[in-house]
Structure 1
Amino acid sequence: MTTLTALRHRDFRMLVAGTTTSALGNAITPIALAFAVLDLGGSASELGLVVAAFALAEVVTTLFGGVLGDRLPRKVMMEGSAAGSALTQLLIAASLIAGFATIPMIGVIGALNGCLAALSQPSSRAMTRLTVPEADLGSAVAVRALLQTSASTVGFALGGVLVAVVGSGWAIGVDAVTYTIAAICFSRLRVEQAAPEGERSSMLADLGEGAREVFAHTWLWLLIGQALLYHLFYGGAQSVLGPIVVGGEFGRSAWGLAMGTLMAGFVVGGVVCLRWRPRRGLFVGTALLSLTALFPLAMALSDQLWVVLLGAFLHGFGLQIFDVSWDLSIQQNVDPDKLARVYSFDVVGSFVARPAGMALTGPIATVVGFQEWLVVVGCVMGGSALLSLASRDVRHLVRQDLVQSAESGSGDPEASPAAV
């Protein structure tokens, strides 16, 4: 199997064209939004509230997005969300360019944008399985992750440049264009999604069924809990403290460079995932997830930009290898008809505490000290990942494609350098 075999399938190409394009714009917006709030006179606490509004709206809406993604055509969910997001981003861009933007206005529109994104996110992640045959699923997961993070790498670096050269409004306008392109790509998907069998139950019953599927897999609910801690602490460190600490020490373009370097780590990790197929991929990914601690620690403890960039790179590298292993573990071990709901519980469980973390980071860091709080963040991130390895289910979950390969007599999967 070649590393890029999934790209032979037209629907997969349409899917990744849309998700990759929107990933480019979505990497620009957080940088532009942060400096837009600061330019309007916002404090660290106000910036935290703005990004928390987006995150809270996303979390609240995601569970419904998961149920709808298992009930309705996922293509329609993705298409409508992208079109709506294009309009909301265009409104924010116009308000900043024309000079009538206010911090509350940005917060409200950002919350609406979060709702739109949440409605389609479970459908988007579950769509991968509908665009390729089972044999190419591993390749599809790795390729999609690599292309999206490559686009985000460019977007983060471009975001810092655009904000410095043309301003935040025009930078967010680019995101509106990318959402429009994504909507066009999603409209061209030709996928067949089986309709739910039997009599349609209530949304609450569907949610309960999805929750039971999550708790049926110890590795699944345990690592969702780990992700909750990760985002509770890191969300504010990146969205609030990062632009202030790095931007204040090295200049605004340096924060865009740091985000671009983080995404470069994602890209390198994605390339590694194309060729490296560890039998116990979830164990390896979780161990490397502890590298994410190095970014906040570097921001806190070093006055050298190259150290911060190295921490950002290793953060992205470890997180990408974990993400690919995590996504493939879900795709291979969860019932297809519950996939969107499980992804919605993944998102909600992982991000439910993120809005609180964003809102509280500014006040807490102001009292404790920005550098001191970044040290706490790094310790929690690294320690929670390593603690998760105590679970036997995390350590011993085996990739299903390698099991099938071994059973068919194709050789020792652990010794094979073959690509995903």
Structure 2
Amino acid sequence: MLDVLDRQAKNPTRPWDSVPFRWLLTGRTLIGLGSAITPVAMALAVLHLGGSATELGLVVAAYALVDVVTTLFAGVLGDRFSRALLMRVAATLSCLSQAAVAVSLATGAATVPMLAVMSALNGGLAAVAGPSSRAVVPQTVPAAALPTAVSVLRLSQNTAMILGFSLAGLLVGLFGPGWAIAVDAATFAAGAACFTAMRVTGQDKAEARSMLDDLAGGAREVLRHTWLWTLLVQALIYHLVYGGVQGVLGPVLMTHRFGDAAWGWALAALMAGFMVGGVVTLRYRPRRMLLAGTAFLALTACFPLAMALPVPLPVVMAGAFLHGLGLEVFSVNWDLAIQQQVAPDKLARVFAFDQVGSFVMRPLGLALTGPVAAAAGERTWLLVAATVMAATVLLSLAPSSVRHLRRQPEERRTEN
């Protein structure tokens, strides 16, 4: 450990000089790859078993519901106990659960209700690891390397997602959904091994109280920072309106206008935007991190706006690209702001509130989009969604703490 710290002292801004960070990066990337394969494989597994669209929705909802419910308590655990340990345990149990699903599908023993139960279990396990996997990052690198570490981790996750989505259809087509999910189980096993090898610095642990008291402490930490709760509220509204755009209106409208392949091209452009945004953040280090990040976030309105207008497919793809670019630049600066400004013993709980705040409104948006768009018109609702997304971004810049929150100076980060 001492030789690692010596190398970091010479190159304090290079996260990959840290052995613990390399294990974290490898483990998270492998798990991200497998986790991108599973949704495609699980959907096709349900359909192969004769399940309806409604039953598929219930399987997906089971994962999402348990994930959201469990995340807040997982944040408490991440501040009480070793975050690396929680990640190891969650990855190991996820490996076992996915292996059980793979075996049941391969042997013909699987049923749709069983897949729903296992999906819910995996949602809970993902929630256990989620806050800790973000809060552990400052324990793996010196403070000066944290900005680059955040960018590299997000870039690797996006790369893994692209590869996973690309591999999923191929694996299911060649070997069946059971074997595709077996690959996910293998990535969890590899991730657990990486997290076992990861030796991190000690963390400041929260004083153990009741779960509700600890949750209240996390909520107070969120409310203590105006910039934090302001942008969480903005995220609630964003996911309420955009969830239905991506999950409901986008596929329907794009297919009708441009053909079956158009939605896939649009999502590919979106992911390309994420990738380019990640590369940009490796060099672009604005002092007023949230002012710059939130300004980039306004680009997310370009995607629904382009879909609403009578423009050719390349223009819609450009809108999708700008959406991904803006969201990624914001997300990197957002993660860094939390890690630099929030007390270390409350990091996991704050990240848990961030995750719940980001996704709790998405199911409601998915449910409401169809009826609302039918009443108002699909293109009209897309224009409304774009306007709401842009307006909430502008309103979130009103607090001075959002506009003026500054990245920690390089000298201070090196000394910490």
TM-score bin (small chain): 0.7 to 0.9
Kindly indicate whether residue 402 of structure 2 is the aligned counterpart of residue 394 of structure 1: yes
Tell me if the contact between 1:47 and 1:240 (Cα under 8 Å) persists in the aligned partners. no
The alignment's TM-score, normalised by the length of structure 1, stands at: 0.84
TM-score (norm 2): 0.85
Contact persistence 1:242–1:255 (CA under 8 A): yes
The corresponding residue for 1:279 is: 287
Q: Match of 2:161?
A: 152
Give per-residue Cα distances to partners, 1:99-129, cap 9 Å, x unaligned. 6655544433222211111111111101101
| Separation (CA, whole Å) in 2 of partners of 1:214 and 1:179 | 32
Q: What is the identity, as a one-letter code, of the residue corresponding to 1:356?
A: L
Give 1:229 shift. 1.4
Q: Are positions 1:353 and 2:373 aligned together?
A: no
On the 8 A contact 2:95/2:189 being kept in 1, the answer is yes
**2:7 aligned partner:** none
Cα deviation digits, residues 237-281 of structure 1 (max 9, x gap) = 334455555567667665455434322211111111111111111
Residue 74 of structure 2 is aligned to residue 65 of structure 1: yes
Tell me what 2:333 maps to: 325
- In 2 relative to 1, CA 392–163 (structure 1 residues): closer, same or farther, beyond 3 Å? farther
Greater shift, 217-226 or 302-311, is seen at: 302-311
Q: Which amino acid aligns with 1:124?
A: S
What pairs with 1:115-154 in structure 2 (closer than 5 Å)? 115-154=124-163
Matches within 5 A, 1:219-230: 219-230=227-238
Partner of residue 380 from structure 1, selected from 388, 410, 413: 388
- Using the alignment, how far apart are the partners of 1:175 and 1:242 within structure 2? 28
Greater relative CO, 1 or 2 (CA 8 Å, sep 6+):
1
Deviates more, 1:243-252 or 1:54-63: 243-252
Helix, strand or coil: the match of 1:230? Answer: helix
Q: 1:380 to 1:181 in 2, by over 3 A?
A: farther
> 1:175, 1:372 → 2: CA distance?
40
Residue 349 of structure 1 deviates from its aligned partner by 2.0
- In 2, the alpha carbon distance for the partners of 1:366 and 1:42 equals 23
Confirm or deny that 1:203 pairs with 2:227. no
Counterpart of 2:328 in structure 1: which amino acid?
Q
113, 119, 123: which one aligns with 1:110: 119
Alpha-carbon shift at residue 332 of structure 1 (Å): 0.6
Q: 1:52 and 1:81 mapped to 2: Cα distance? A: 20
Kept after mapping to 2: 8 A contact 1:51/1:239: no
User: What residue identity is the alignment partner of 1:383?
Assistant: A
User: In the TM superposition, what is the alpha-carbon distance from 1:169 to its structure 2 partner?
Assistant: 4.7
Residues matched between the structures, number: 405
* Residue in structure 2 matched with residue 28 of structure 1 by the alignment: 37
Check whether the contact 1:160–1:254 (CA below 8 A) recurs between aligned residues. Answer: no
Cα deviation, 1:186-220, whole Å, max 9, x if unaligned, reads 1111123246376x322222111111111110000
**CA offsets 1:131-158 (integer angstroms, 9 cap, x no match):** 0111211221122112222222222333
Change (3 A) 1:265 1:191: same
Superposition CA RMSD, Å: 3.2
Is residue 48–residue 358 contact of structure 1 (8 Å, CA) maintained in 2? no
User: Whole-Å Cα distance in 2 between the matches of residues 67 and 354 of structure 1?
Assistant: 23
Question: 2:92 maps to which residue?
Answer: 83
CA distance in 2, matches of 1:38, 1:404: 55
**2:273 is matched with which residue: 256, 265, 268?**
265
User: Using a 3 Å threshold, how does the CA distance of structure 1 residues 167 and 141 change in structure 2: closer, same or farther?
Assistant: same
Q: Is the 8 Å Cα contact of residues 81 and 205 (structure 2) preserved in structure 1?
A: no
Structure 2 Cα separation of the partners of residues 22 and 166 of structure 1: 20
Among 42, 47, 68, the residue aligned to 2:52 = 42
Q: In the superposition, relative to structure 1, how do residues 207 and 54 fare at CA in structure 2: closer, same or farther (>3 Å)?
A: same
In the TM superposition, residue 16 of structure 1 has moved relative to its aligned partner by 0.7
2:223 alignment partner AA: F
Return the alpha-carbon distance in structure 2 between the equivalents of residues 358 and 367 of structure 1. 15
Letter in 1 for 2:23: M
Change (3 A) 1:143 1:112: same
- Give the Cα–Cα distance (whole angstroms) in 2 for the partners of residues 132 and 274 of structure 1: 16
Question: Counterpart of 1:26 in structure 2: which amino acid?
Answer: S
TM-aligned CA distance change 1:325 to 1:197, over 3 Å = closer
In the other structure, the counterpart of 1:189 is 198
Task: Determine the structure 1 residue equivalent to 2:3.
Answer: none
Deviation for aligned residue 1:313: 1.8
Unpaired runs of 5+ residues, structure 2, are 1-9
Deviations 1:363-382 (A, max 9, x none): 55566665554444333333
**Which of the numbers 222, 245, 265 marks the counterpart of 1:237?**
245
